[in-house]
């Protein structure tokens, strides 16, 4: 029986660890967690925020996926989007998921990331941002 997602693995090109560390820690506010030594020798880096873990592994012929992405729940989505924008990340809002506010961004190597927050029952009516056609 499945009980939870342990982590999500994303790929990255060789020698991108410094850019990934800057983005995932400084921009997203995650904490780098140590990789086991046998895995650390392969390159890449791992990050966590509470129970959420993202693992970035080196792939020699890296090409970012155009549609595949992790969906990351956040609180205070407007402030979180502003945090990303203030640190130079692009934020693309998408209103196509009923009951949620969400936006997409990319890490420095082009991995697509979705950030979403459930709307409270008192939030209704049209969204502030128009749909961008980036639905899952």
pLDDT tens-digit series, residues 98-135: 999 999 999 999 999 999 999 987 655 554 444 444 45
pLDDT of residue 120: 80
Give every CB contact of residue 1 below 8 A, 6+ residues apart in sequence: none
**Cα–Cα distance for residue pair 129/10, rounded to 1 Å:** 28
By the 8 A CB rule, do 43 and 17 touch?
yes
Give every CB contact of residue 111 below 8 A, 6+ residues apart in sequence: 10, 11, 12, 64, 65, 69
Q: What is the pTM of this model?
A: 0.86
Mean pLDDT of 4-30: 97
pLDDT of residue 133: 45
**Cα–Cα distance for residue pair 78/123, rounded to 1 Å:** 14
Question: Do β-strands 71-73 and 92-93 pair in parallel, antiparallel, or remain unpaired?
Answer: unpaired
pLDDT of residue 136: 52
Give whole-number Cα distances, 43 to 11, 34, 62, 113, in Å: 11, 12, 14, 21
Q: What is the pLDDT of residues 32-89, one digit of tens each?
A: 999 999 999 999 999 999 999 999 999 999 999 999 999 999 999 999 999 999 999 9
- 4, pLDDT greater than 70: yes
pLDDT of residue 129: 47
CATH code of 8-118, in short, is: 3.10.180.10
By the 8 A CB rule, do 43 and 14 touch?
yes
């Amino acid at each position: 029986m499945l009980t939870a997602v342990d982590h999500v693995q994303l790929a990255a090109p060789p020698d991108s660890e410094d850019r990934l560390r800057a983005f995932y820690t400084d921009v997203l506010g995650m904490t780098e967690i140590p990789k086991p030594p046998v895995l650390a020798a392969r390159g890449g880096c791992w990050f966590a925020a509470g129970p959420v873990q993202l693992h970035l592994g080196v792939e020699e012929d890296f090409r970012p996926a155009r549609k595949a992405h992790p969906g990351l729940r956040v609180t205070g989505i407007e402030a979180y989007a502003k945090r990303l924008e203030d640190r130079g990340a692009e934020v693309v809002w998408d209103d196509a998921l009923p009951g949620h506010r969400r936006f997409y961004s990319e890490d420095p190597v082009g991995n697509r990331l979705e950030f979403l927050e459930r709307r409270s029952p008192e939030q209704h009516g049209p969204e502030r941002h128009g749909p961008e056609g980036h639905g899952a």
